Amino acid sequence: MYINGTRFYLDDWGSKEWQAFPKRWYQEGLLITNTVVKDAENEEQSKANRPTKDGDDREGSIMHPRKKKIPTYIFQRKHNIHCFYDHDNGQWMRMPIGYELHHEMVGTLVDQVEKALPHWNDRPDILAMLRQCNYDADECINTFLHLEGDEWLKYSRTSTK
């Protein structure tokens, strides 16, 4: 909420009152507002329309059977990364999907998506999309619904020897 140009948030854990939004939080995550969303959409649109520059290996394309050539770009964004502390080597490690599926909070998010989309019953695939959506279950569900029926969402597992 904004009042006289100051952003506030509802502290529902502690005082349960509106608190001034700390300036340091702007640097610690992805803050989505109407302006930021529109700016991001404009940035993505302009990148999609821009010809490939020499040396920018984040730009590319894929050939889709129905949609033909689709431009792609790897955007740099702040993203949540789930890690675990490995006592054996004394450092934080990125959590593999197999570990993460056993985490209570993540399991709850996957359950939420499965409940909304009971025909999507591949828990590792759901978690992979949740990761892409920064652990936002609603965005994950919306993305799947938008792409539902696309033959590329159905893949065959192959064994490697």
pLDDT over threshold 80, residue 131: yes
**Secondary structure, 3-state, 22-59:** CHHHHHCCCCCCHHHHHHHHHHHHHHHHCCCCCCCCCE
* pTM confidence score: 0.58
Q: Is residue 72 part of a domain?
A: no
What pairs with residue 18 in β-bridges? 10
Count of Cβ atoms closer than 10 Å to residue 127 Cβ:
23
Domain coverage including residue 98: 83-151
- 57 or 47, higher pLDDT: 57
Residue 45 pLDDT class (50, 70, 90 cuts)? low
Q: Is residue 130 part of a domain?
A: yes
Q: What is the pLDDT of residues 79-105, one digit of tens each?
A: 888 999 989 988 899 999 999 999 999
106, 116 in Cβ contact below 8 A?
no
- 35 or 77, higher pLDDT: 77
Q: Is residue 3 part of a domain?
A: no
In the numeric block, the tokens 């993203």 are attached to: 79
8, 1 in Cβ contact below 8 A?
yes
Q: Is residue 124 part of a domain?
A: yes
Q: Is residue 121 part of a domain?
A: yes
What average pLDDT does the segment 10-25 reach?
Answer: 71
Q: Is residue 77 part of a domain?
A: no
Number of domains into which the chain is organized: 1
Q: Is residue 109 part of a domain?
A: yes
pLDDT over threshold 90, residue 125: yes
Q: Kindly compute the dihedral angle of the four CA atoms of residues 145, 122, 59, 41, in this order, to the nearest 10 degrees.
A: 30
Q: Is residue 95 part of a domain?
A: yes
